[in-house]
Structure 1
Amino acid sequence: MSATARLSPWRVSIAVVILLATAVAGVLGVRMYEARASQEPAPHWFAGYVDVTATPSYAFEEGSADAAGHVPDVVLSFIVADKDGTCTPSWGTHYGLDEAGQELDLDRRIQRLREQDAGVVVSFGGAINQELATVCESPEELAEAYLQVIERYDLDTIDLDIEGSALEDPKSNALRAEALASLQADRRVVGKPLAVWLTLPVIPSGLTADGREVVMGMLDSGTDLAGVNLMTMNYGEARDSRSMFDASAAAMRSTHRQLGIMYEQAGIPLGDSALWGKLGATPMIGQNDVLDEVFQLNDAKRFNEFAVENGIGRMSMWSLNRDATCGSNYPDTTRVSDACSGVDQGEEHFAEVLSQDYSGHAAEAADASTEPDPAAAAPQEDDPETSPYPIWTEEASYLEGTKIVWHRNVYEAKWWTRGELPDNPVLEAWDTPWELVGPVLPGETPAPVFTVEKGTYPEWKGSASYEKGDRVLSEGTPYEAKWWTEGESPDASVADPDNSPWVPLTADEVKEDAG
């Protein structure tokens, strides 16, 4: 995402670790992870982004209470290096912190919002200007720059929007991770915990390689990530023919899988619900920067339902400044505006739609620590009696479309495969022959085997030889010979369909014979 006084493009997400609060604050060596039991599920919260330097100015301080009187948080963006490119925080290079207080009344407006029981998150980075980690020369200097902003606005939650050239810069990513780990540890020691969110680009297949490196770098540094917020927008060719909702839902599912692998590799196994809670989503409402990508109100409604159903921890949007129908003096709505959405919203607002059932605040989860889930680390045992499909075995070969069960999940083969684990922890979906379909459901039993009446075909005999095309029955199941065979049981085709001389018949094929 970008914050500027003019235009605001975006792109798109995570991980978690636990810091031993009693560790020496300044040491960044090996860090131990402390499991902290959570009495209640983490709150789910909505906070729309506000482009602080955009004109006309957006009055975020006025709040917008729902029917229950809840005023949501806001994410103020973006803090970057100053216009001289030094390690000095500024709002979009246009205002220093003092200048923003004087010329924008920013401190006063923040206080006014807080008086309505809403919270403020500040976002560092964005698509344009220089993210502080790209200009600061040491972790200590960078941590001090972050601390100036945190103390100025009394923050308990910050957002790091890493995209563009900053995303591809290993040096600044390492510097940022080290600085945040140290800063977070220092804040915990003095009783002022700091929640750290990453905001990263995403496509339907998940985080990019650069994005994953940022997440893993944070985990390796000892930073306890609150979560990864995905920029569900601007997919380009990766969207293919999907709707904006379908592309966004696919991006969330893919990243959920990737995040689980990254946490497991970091030695912090997490269950499905915990992983969903560590994900955030930020669509660009209305007209996106990509010409044919338009996120409509209907996409927003479906996305909110998807997020609530899966327990996604955070919902945001780019941006509150844009949450209005364009006026008649802005005729070309395919050109992105930073003051309107480019779609006809009628009386509706994207913020109201996306925030449905998100009644928490970021501050409520700011002191939470990530707890490894022992159950997630132990694979579940499969039981043939409660599995709808055969249980995967290393020796069997599987044709495209074959479904199996492994560790209480159903998988489908994307192409011929043998010996490749269905839950092999690969970060790219195209690197595995298996597609996860979903969990084995309570009460499921093996899928019924197709059988026919006795006498429909001759019974298979081990002493007989069969030519290609011959049809037989074995335990009531009809089979057809693929080539000449003798003494090879048709039942073996279930475990090794590729090498078996027998293939089971379908109901349609049997019906043709009967006809």
Structure 2
Amino acid sequence: MVAVSAAALAAGATTATGAYASDAPKDARPAAAPAAVAPYLYNGWGDPPDPAEVMRATGVRWFTLAFVLDAGGCDPRWDGDRALTGGVDQQTVDKVRAGGGDIVPSFGGASGAKLEQECADAGALAGAYQKVIDAYGLKAIDIDIEGDAYNDGATQQKTVDALKRIKADNPGIITYVTFPSGQSGPDGSMIDRAADSGLEVDGWTIMPFDFGGEGQNMADLTEQATDGLKNRVKDAYGYSDDEAYRHSGLSSMNGITDVNETVTTGNFEAIEGYAQEHHLARLSFWSVNRDRPCSGAYPNDDTCSGVDQDPWEFSRILAGFTG
């Protein structure tokens, strides 16, 4: 694989597929967002959007493509079912790369058989990650560890050790670890374990939602939680505040969340400004599938946001982040 530095990704490095393809005049296209802006796109259900349309409309160039799970025997597949290459997920990757962008596969998620739990040891888990890296010549990966996987210390350590091997075998690869948070930030279990093991990741990423924020300002809570993350990272690694922010990131949820919190486009504008102020490592959200207005009542099926918005407005707001 081609090694790409974190600085190059933050500057919006594109793949060798060339310039962004669009019928619009060059000066009319949205400015290209950096690789740090990579909202989740999920082909597993509902009505997945056309990434080329989103790219043309917003300036987003990178997507976090969910989810890689275990098909049995520590075999990585999309949703634990679809082959790594040749299907709809391959088509999505090809469209994104044809537009001058790239993808960050996300391993794990909230449900399904997790490689982090099913693979026997760190070597096997690293081998599963490597299969996906090799299949797509990846520049970045995301490990979304939550629920039982996150709450088990042995699974955390296995994941840390596997990521150490991946970074050693793939110089320059960007690694993100995504995990839950409370309103004051995450617990320090995995961050401390990684620091003690000598693993430095490029972006510790919290999910600041589904944490009791109904009726509250979700931008304020997001900033509060991310400040808490920064403090955890700072304490674990001995970073300065600036260094800790630059190794911290967030992945929000647009619109109405699973526990009836409401994240508005105005909240996203505030979150983008906060991320810009502190030069966060990553700015994402769940999900592009939801980044459109509902045609009627909110169906709660992850095909629309449930709030007042223009199509792809949440993506367009975060695309203003420059790193």
Same fold by TM-score greater than 0.5: yes
Larger Rg: 1
Q: 1:197 aligns with which of 162, 170, 176?
A: 176
The DSSP-based 3-state class of the residue aligned with 2:181 is strand
Deviation of 1:240 after TM superposition, in Å, equals: 7.8
Equivalent residue pairs, number:
295
In the alignment, residue 51 of structure 2 is paired with which amino acid? F
Residue 260 of structure 1: CA displacement? 0.6
Counterpart secondary structure, 1:120:
strand
1:258 matched to which residue of 2? 232
Query: Residue 397 of structure 1 corresponds to which residue in structure 2?
Result: none
Distance in 1 (alpha carbons) for counterparts of 2:60 and 2:259: 32
The secondary structure found in structure 1 opposite 2:236 is: helix
User: Take 1:117 and 1:258, find their aligned partners in 2: how far apart are those partners?
Assistant: 35
Q: Deviations over 1:55-75 (max 9, x none)?
A: 2232224452468xx442100
User: Are positions 1:95 and 2:69 aligned together?
Assistant: no
Structure with the higher helix share, 1 or 2: 2
**Aligned-pair identity (%):** 28
Decide which of 278, 284, 303 is 2:271's aligned counterpart. 303
1:185 aligned onto 2:161: no
Q: Distance in 2 between matches of 1:352 and 1:131?
A: 32
Q: Deviation of residue 93 (structure 1)?
A: 2.4
Q: Unaligned 5+ residue runs, structure 2?
A: 1-5, 12-33
Structure 1 position 349 matched with structure 2 position 317: no
- Residues 321 and 340 of structure 1 are in contact (CA less than 8 Å); yes or no, is this contact kept in structure 2? yes
What secondary structure sits across from 2:38 in the alignment? strand
Q: Are the counterparts in 2 of residues 71 and 117 from structure 1 also a CA contact under 8 Å?
A: no
Asked whether the 8 Å contact 1:232–1:281 carries over to 2, the reply is yes
Give the structure 2 partner of residue 398 of structure 1: none
Deviations 1:293-317 (CA, angstroms, capped at 9, x unpaired): 1101111111111211222222111
In 2, Cα distance between equivalents of 1:344 and 1:313:
29
The corresponding residue for 1:245 is: 219
**Are the aligned partners of 1:315 and 1:355 in contact in 2 as well (CA < 8 Å)?**
no
User: Are the structure 2 counterparts of residues 143 and 347 from structure 1 closer, same or farther at C-alpha, using a change threshold of 3 Å?
Assistant: closer
Deviations 1:481-508 (A, max 9, x none): xxxxxxxxxxxxxxxxxxxxxxxxxxxx
- Unaligned 5+ runs, structure 1: 1-37, 265-269, 361-515
Give distance in 2, aligned partners of 1:66 and 1:324: 12
TM-score, normalised to structure 1's length? 0.54
Partner of 1:56: 47
Give 1:183 shift.
Answer: 2.1
Greater relative contact order: 1 or 2 (C-alpha under 8 angstroms, separation 6 or more)?
2
Q: C-alpha offsets along residues 440-475 of structure 1, whole Å, 9 cap, x if unaligned? A: xxxxxxxxxxxxxxxxxxxxxxxxxxxxxxxxxxxx
Change (3 A) 1:157 1:41: closer
Alignment of 1:144 onto 2:127:
yes
Tell me which residue corresponds to 1:467: none
**2:200 match:** 224
Amino acid at match of 2:62: D
* Contact 1:42 1:277 survives alignment (8 Å): no
Q: What is the alpha-carbon root mean square deviation over aligned residues? A: 2.3
What does residue range 351-500 of structure 1 map to in structure 2 within 5 Å? 351-358=315-322
DSSP 3-state at the match of 2:39:
strand
Instruction: Give the AA of the match of 2:224.
Output: A
Match of 1:214 in 2: 190
| Counterpart residue number, 1:489 | none
Pairing of 1:11-26 with structure 2 (within 5 A): none
